[in-house]
Amino acid sequence: MTGFEIIINNLPVLTVVIPLIAGFLTTITGWIDRRLCWYWVMLTMFVVVLITSSNLLTVINSGTIYYHLGGWMPPFGIEYVIDLLNGFVCLIIAFIGLMVAIYSKESVKKELPGKTIPFYSIFLLLITGLMGMTITGDIFNFYVFLEISSLTAYALIAMGDRGDGLVASFNYLIMGTVAASFILLGIGYLYAVTGTLNMADMQNILPDIYGSKVVLAALAFFMAGFSIKIGLFPLHAWLPDAYTHAPSTASALIAGLMTKVGAYAMIRFMFSVFTPAFVIDMTRTAEILTWAAALAIIMGSVFAIAQSDIKRMLAYSSISQIGYILLGVGLVNVIGMQGGLLHILNHAFMKCALFLVAGAIFYRTGIRNIYQFQGLGKKMPVTTLVFLIAALSMIGVPGTVGFTSKWYLALGSIEAGQWIFVLVILASSLLNVAYFWRIFDNIWFGNPHEKEHIKRDEAPLTMLVPMVILAFLCIFFGFFAYYPLHYILEPLSNTLLGIMP
C-alpha cells in the first residue's frame, strides 16, 4: 500500500487528528515567530476543508464510511462514522473555520495584543472538539469531544472585553456544566440498560426496552442538556453575554458553529440513537420540540428588537434562528426536515457574516451601538453591503438562502397540518425587518454627527475577503439550493425518518 493510499484510507481520523496536533504545534510555531501562527492556522484549516470535502463526496458516491480506531471492531472499539448528516456538518465546520481564520489576522492583533499564540492554539482545539463530536459513532467519545469544545469555547470567550468576557465565560461555564452533566447522566443510563457505547448498537438494542423508565429518563436528560447547549429559549441565559463579550473572531466562530453542532447532536441522538417511532409517537418529543422552537423563534426576535448593541442583537437573533432548525426537525416530515437541515448551512453563512461585519465595524470605529452607525454606508461601503445581504437573508427575502429554508419550513408546517407555524415564520420575518431596519436606517439614511466629508475607510483585505465570500454564498445558495437539497438533504431526511427511497 502506497503512502497516498494510506492517507486516503485514514482521512476520517485525520479530520480530527490534524487540527488536534496543529493546535499543539501552534505554540511551537509562535515561539519561532508569532506572525507565523496565522499562516499555520490557515494552512491547517485549508487542509481540513479538503479532507472533509473528500469525505462528503465519498459518502455521496459510495455510501457511509466506517473507520475503526486501532483496528478494534465495535462495539468494543471506538468507531468513526461518516454519513450524509455528519459529512455535511463537518464540511460546514471546516469551511466556516477557514473563513474565520482568514478574517482573524488583523482582528486578533488589535483586540488581543500579546494573546495571538494562545488564541490560535485554542481556536484549533475548538475545531478539533467540534469535529470529534460530529464524526464519532461512540456515545462516550462524543462526550469527551463535547467537553473539549466547551472548555475551549469558555477560554476564547474569557479573552474578550476585559472583565465582562470573564464573567460571560463563567456564566457559560456554569450553564455548560449543568448541560454536560445532564448529557453524561443520559449516557450512563443508556449504558446501564444496553451494555454498549456504540450508537448504532444502541439503536438496535433500545427498541426492546423502550418501556423502561430508565430509557425515558435518558431521553429527557439528553433533550434538556442539548437545549441548554444550543441556547433554546428559555434555557438561553448564557448565550447573549457570551456572544456579546467574546472577541469578534471568537463570536463569529462560536455563533457560526457551536449551536449548529449542538443542533446536529440533538438530531443524531433523536434519530440515530433512539428511533423516529420513539421520539414521534411513543414520547411525543418531536411535538414538544416544535412548540418550544416556535416560542424561541418569536421570543428571540422580540428580545433582539430591544437591543442597541449590535453583537447582543445578533445574539438574540441566533436564539430565534436556532428555533427554525428545531422546528424543521420537530415537524418530522421530509420537506420540513429538509428546511431545518438546510437552515444549519444557511444560518452558518448568514450569522457568521453578520458577526464578521460587526467585528469589522468595531475594528475601524470602536463602535457597537447601532444608533451611532450614521455615515457607515459611505465610510465602509463593502462591509455594509455584506451586512445588507446577510440581513436580507435573515429576513428571508426571495433570492437569498434564508428564503429557501423558511419556504421549506412553511411547506413542512402545511403538510403537517400546523398552519400556526406558518404564521410564526411570517411573524418572525416581520420582527426581523423591525430590528434590522433600525441598522439600515442609521447606516444609509442617518445624518452623521461630523459635518465634514466622510472618508472611505474600509476594513483590511483579510477581513473583507471572507465577508464577501459568505455574502456571495448567501445569494448563490439562494438560487442554487437544489444542489445541497437534492444530493444531501433529501436522501438524508428520508434516512433520518426511516422512509425507504
By CB atoms closer than 10 A (0-12, 13-18, 19+), residue 366 is exposed
CA distances from 186 to 183, 193, 214, 218, 334 (A): 5, 11, 9, 4, 28
Buried b (16+ CB within 10 A) or exposed e, 389-408: bbbbbbbbbeebbbbbbbbb
CA–centroid distance for 446 within its chain:
33
Mean pLDDT by runs of 10 across the 501 residues of the chain is 65 88 88 86 92 90 84 78 90 93 87 84 92 90 92 88 79 90 92 88 86 89 91 84 87 88 90 86 84 91 88 90 90 89 91 91 84 81 90 90 91 88 91 88 70 66 91 91 86 80 55
8 Å CB contact between 146 and 180: yes
Q: Quick check: is 178 in a domain?
A: no
Q: Residue ranges of the alpha helices (H) in 306-370?
A: 310-331, 334-365
Domain membership flag for residue 321: yes
Among 174, 107, 94, which residue's Cα sits nearest to residue 134?
A: 94
Q: What is the 3-state composition of the chain as percent helix, strand, coil, each rounded to the nearest 5?
A: 80, 5, 15
Question: Measured between alpha carbons, how far is residue 320 from residues 299, 305, 432 in Å?
Answer: 7, 12, 10
* Residue 87 CB contacts under 8 Å (≥ 6 apart), including other chains: 52, 55, 56, 59, 60
- Residue 422: in which H helix or E strand, if any? helix 419-440
Please report where in the chains the cell 444557511 appears, as a residue: 346
Q: Locate cell 448541560: which residue?
A: 179
Residues 122, 3: Cα–Cα separation, whole Å: 30
**Which grid coordinates are listed for 323?**
428555533
DSSP letter at 488 equals I
Indicate whether 17 belongs to any domain: no
Residue 438 resides in a domain: yes
- The number of residues making up the chain comes to 501
pLDDT of residue 390: 92
Burial class (CB within 10 angstroms; exposed 0-12, middle 13-18, buried 19+) of 168: buried
Residue 3 falls inside a structural domain:
no
- C-alpha cell at position 66: 466506517
Per-residue pLDDT at 501? 55
pLDDT of residue 450: 54
Q: Is the bond leading into 234 cis (omega within 30 degrees of zero)?
A: yes
Its sign, for the CA torsion 319, 323, 137, 181, is: positive
pLDDT in the model for residue 244? 86
Q: What is the DSSP letter of 396?
A: T
Domain that holds residue 318: 306-501
Return the closest-CA partner of residue 253 out of 45, 22, 484, 13.
45
- Provide the pLDDT for residue 5: 61
pTM over the 0.85 mark: yes
336 is a domain residue: yes
What's the pLDDT at 451?
A: 44
Residue 108 lies in a domain: no
Angle 472-473-474 (CA atoms, 0-180°, nearest 5)?
Answer: 90
Looking at the DSSP bridge assignments, the partners of residue 369 are: 309
With contact defined as beta carbons under 8 Å apart, do 259 and 128 qualify?
no
Distances (CA, A) of 128 to 41, 135, 456: 13, 11, 39
DSSP 8-state code for residue 333: S
Task: Spell out the residues 6+ positions from residue 142 whose beta carbon is closer than 8 angstroms to its own.
Answer: 132, 133, 136, 265
Q: Is residue 346 part of a domain?
A: yes
- The string of DSSP codes covering 146-165 is HHHHHHHHHHHHHTSTHHHH
* Angle separating helix axes 310-331 and 401-415, nearest 10 degrees: 40
Structural domain total, the chain: 1
Burial of 205 (0-12, 13-18, 19+ CB in 10 A): middle
